[in-house]
Structure 1
Amino acid sequence: MSEVETLIIGAGPAGMAAAMELSKVNKKILIIEKQKSVGGLAKTLTFEEEGATFFSDIGPHRFFSQNKYLYDFIENLIHDKWIKVNRLTRQYIGGKFYDYPINAAQALKNIGMKKAFRIFLDYLFAQIVYKILRKKIKNFKDYVIANFGRSLAELNMINYTEKVWGIECSKIHPDWAKQRIKSLTLISALKSIFTKGKDPRSMVDQFYYPEDGTHLIYKTIEEKIIQKGNEVLTESYPTKIKHDGKLITEVIINTRGKEESFKPKYLVESITMKNFVNLLEPSAPDCVLEAIKTLKYRSQVYLFITLDKESITKDQWIYFPEKEIPFGRVSEMKNFSKKMSPDGKTSLFVEFFCFEGDKTWNMDKESLFELALNHFERLGFFTRKEVRNYYLIKQKNVYPIYDLDYQKNLELIKAYLNKFENLFFIGRPGRFKYNNQDHSLEMGILAARSIIDEKKYDIESVGSEIEYYEKGDLNVSNKQKVSFNWMVLEDRDET
């Protein structure tokens, strides 16, 4: 059995951030990653074609945070390859494009005065039902109707949410709305339009992006920690995790068919919570095993389409809430950075939401392409003749599903895992918590600081107590960023 100071399982944003933070103070680490490369859902894919190379992230990864430490963390890694991008995103609803964030004049023109008046009346009616008559908010559907009115909720919130999660909004926990649109209402949204993003609940008009793709962050971390004598084992995964009820005592790792045993002083892991619990020996209590069975995930399949065309749109990404359109979001990577496509050519990354094993998941790339092509031609995005090639990618367990029972089961599982004094479970899969790249980085840094400072910081609060930012200018160049005080993390407050 080999001893290791900190064993990190999972080389996504959370795991790699933990590794980098530990490496800075010369802590010895070993990273285990199941895939062939680091980055997790934030890796960048490379597609080599005759005379052309295309790159694509796995969906849009914009970086915006109120945390100064995170900006410094990444700037110190990639320096001048950290570029500022003016955001342009839209939604396609009812045959029309709507700017996102909202362009008031455009939205009013698209929906018309009659529809706008109906939206306002529905909002007033919702205030009577939920505020005056105090109807209880039991689910996501209740939440968005209470805060936006039925007409606006049905325009793009309910249909898109059901498209993403694959279940009715009446079966989705209101936590999902509280996490993503906390404190946002029809009135506050209208205020933010006329105050040009000064409202703290507003949306991001600019973001930062690594000019060679998001993988640049994680490949750079990998290089730096290897330079310090640490090791990254790819195509490796845990087969057994032993404990004594108080500490994780041994982890069995399979690397390309060869098993090896490690004794970690600390274990930092970001694999799916369900997989981790099922690897424990002795087994978790029956109540925990029953609870873990209830956790559900949403998966995705993707089409990456390369094109003999200069440009499709100016958008970084576009949402398609309506269920009649089979895909939910598309990204034109060239609009993040010109380096993502060759000169004179572009590409489109197309996202389909599904469950592992369902009809969409089982489609071959030709069927999926044909399913989507008619919509793209009708939209004027591109024609069949302009298509160079297309590729199919599949990803399991992308989104944790917040059904009505998830909270009580998750709390039971977390209470059990928190008993292990040397365990830190982090990231979207590790905590069964939908969060963004910046939140995963924060979790990894917090886990590392907990090890360095020998005190457990509050990882659970990351991404929970703050509003979800979608609009607003970046003030990073003049350092108007919120500082991060490691000594008061338990009471962290971001403005």
Structure 2
Amino acid sequence: MITYILGAGPAGLAAGYYMTRIGCAVTVLEAEREYGGFARTFCHGPFRYDTGAHRFHDKDAEITADIQDLMGNELIKVHAPSQIYWNGRYLDFPLSPVNVARRIGIGTFVRAGADFAFARLRRSKRDEWNFAAKAYRKYGKTIADAFLIGYSEKLWGVPAQKLMPEVSGGRLKGLSARTMLYELLRGKQEKTEHLDGSFYYPRQGYGQIAERLAASIGKENIRLSTRVTKLRHDGTTIQLIECEGHESARPKRVVSSLPQSVLLRLLDPAPPRQLIEIAEGMKFRDLILTALFLNRTQVSRNASIYFPSEDVPFTRLYEPKNRSIELAPPSQTCAVVEIPCFADQPIWVENDTDLIGNVTRELERAGLIRGDDVIGGKVHRLRRAYPVLEIGIHEKLDELRRYLQRFVNLYVVGRTGRFEYTHVHDLLRQGKELAKLMQTEAATDLTLQRVHSG
């Protein structure tokens, strides 16, 4: 029998890739016309750009080795810093103490230093029960308010006091006495490496990873434009998958990377109503990507530029060409900005031409481009880009997890599936661990068969 994987985003493809490697028969079902999910690369004429400012960081040596083996010489090492644009100045990102001291002015720096010392003396890690508390303890009020609180509220659409501490990811690192000494003693180049300015990236865009994963699974085993309509079960086992067009299949296992609200609504018989309400109440942040195609060689040297100001509608700009020179012609470049929002906000349905014009004016105001540099633009709207991790979310997830665990052949993976803020290397690790579990189960089944047949 076949294991069916629901969703051909990075989580579903990672699960399929590792399961195929151990000899499992898999079929991936994807409702959309293409695979890759939030790890795709768009093409527009000679320009290529991703669904976000993606980078592959070497955070898991085993997974990095797997990706290097998968990608071969198509995976390159990139050294490019990221910065914050604040009050007309550029600061290192993550925040760097020596750079902060030089850029924010002596008065603000003295006040920030006093806040920092006070925060460390008065607060302990036990106080870090929400993102705002963690940011204030780590950096003090002056720095946190300037660079982190407003930015995070713009990114997530929720007051910082209502966000879980883990939404910070790697943002709350770098500003410490230890880091300052590191910078002073090791110099600028070492600082760039230390502040995550070094990463891996595919030559033709991040979507190449999805392409290689799909090729390894076998594209004949990936069914695009196939929407699942029901998962029929007996209370403990998923027995039948039904798809549009009255197709059906009996799965050995089901691996779901779908949002839990979608997964629960597919189950037949339906789960308790209160569980569906919990799942549907969990927020996802949507994303508008606006790409500007520019008749100039480069906007900046940065991999990404962050915009914490509430006056600017977008949070981040990335320039694909700074990841790989093959993503734009030699004399031209592309700049992509990310505008986080909810799909029920007016900006979600704003005219594309107006969005492109507004982004152009903001980047002109920041001194990054001139209006006559722009030779074209493209807008993409991406639903459920980021799970919003609000206070109390873990209790809700635990309740949903307890219900789903009753299905012995159902497994949940992925950023949207598990409602976790994860990166591609995390999703590959999930896929690899799932394949190991499948091997163990297969070995147990074989042992039982031998015992019973003996």
Q: What TM-score, normalized to structure 2?
A: 0.91
Amino acid at match of 2:10: P
Distance 2:208 2:184 in 1: 37
| 1:189 CA drift (Å) | 4.7
| Alignment of 1:289 onto 2:276 | yes
1:247 paired residue among 213, 218, 237 = 237
Aligned ranges 1:65-464 → 2 under 5 Å:
65-131=58-124, 136-177=127-168, 179-180=169-170, 186-187=176-177, 189-190=179-180, 193-194=183-184, 203-226=195-218, 230-254=220-244, 258-454=245-441
| CA 1:164–1:176: 2 relative to 1, 3 Å | same
Secondary structure of the residue aligned to 1:322 is coil
Distance 1:95 1:446, change over 3 A: same
Q: C-alpha separation between the residues in 1 aligned to 2:36 and 2:227?
A: 15
Letter in 2 for 1:153: A
For 2:12 and 2:435, how far apart are their aligned partners in 1? Answer: 10
Partners in 2 of 1:195 and 1:17 — Cα distance? 41
Q: Tell whether 2:16 aligns with 1:25.
A: no
Question: Once the two structures are superposed, what CA deviation does each residue of 1:181-212 show, in whole Å capped at 9, x if it has no partner?
Answer: 5787644554554575999x963231111101
Q: How far apart are residue 313 of structure 1 and its match?
A: 0.9
Ranges in structure 1 where 5+ consecutive residues have no aligned partner: 457-495
Match of 1:8 in 2: 5
More displaced 10-residue stretch of structure 1: 159-168 or 286-295? 286-295
Contact map agreement 1:14 1:442 (CA 8 A) in 2: no
**Is it true that 1:43 corresponds to 2:40 in the alignment?**
yes
**One-letter amino acid of the structure 2 residue matched with residue 252 of structure 1:** E
| SS of the residue 1:434 aligns to | coil
3-state SS in 1 of match to 2:227: strand
Q: Supply the distance in 2 between the matched residues of 1:73 and 1:106 (Cα, whole angstroms).
A: 36
Change (3 A) 1:424 1:198: farther
AA partner of residue 13 (structure 1): P
Counterpart contact for 1:102–1:193, Cα < 8 Å? no
Amino acid at match of 1:219: E
Structure 2 counterpart SS, 1:454 = helix
Separation (CA, whole Å) in 1 of partners of 2:152 and 2:26: 40
The verdict on how the C-alpha distance between 1:103 and 1:410 changes in structure 2, with shifts beyond 3 A counting, is closer
When residues 453 and 431 of structure 1 are mapped into structure 2, their CA distance, relative to the original with a 3 A threshold, is same
Q: Which amino acid aligns with 1:414?
A: R
In 2, Cα distance between the equivalents of 1:184 and 1:380? Answer: 27
May I ask how many residue pairs the two structures share in their alignment?
440
Q: Is the contact between residue 96 and residue 110 of structure 1 (CA under 8 Å) also seen in structure 2?
A: yes
Q: CA deviation at 1:259?
A: 3.2
CA drift at 1:423 = 1.3
Q: In 1, Cα distance between the equivalents of 2:167 and 2:58?
A: 20
User: Aligned partners of 1:340 and 1:400: how far apart in 2?
Assistant: 29
How far the C-alpha of 1:327 sits from its partner, in A, is 0.9
Q: Could you tell me how far apart the structure 1 residues matched to 2:76 and 2:413 are?
A: 28
Structure whose residues are more often helix by fraction: 2
The 3 A distance-change label for structure 1 pair 265 and 318 is: same
Q: 1:211 to 1:242 in 2, by over 3 A?
A: same
1:407-436 deviation digits (Å, cap 9, x = unpaired): 211111112112222111111001000111
Q: 1:266 to 1:198 in 2, by over 3 A?
A: farther
Q: CA RMSD in A?
A: 2.3
Identity %: 26
In structure 2, C-alpha distance between the alignment counterparts of 1:243 and 1:186, rounded to whole Å = 54
Q: Structure 1: how far apart are the matches of 2:289 and 2:173?
A: 33
One-letter code aligned to 2:345: D
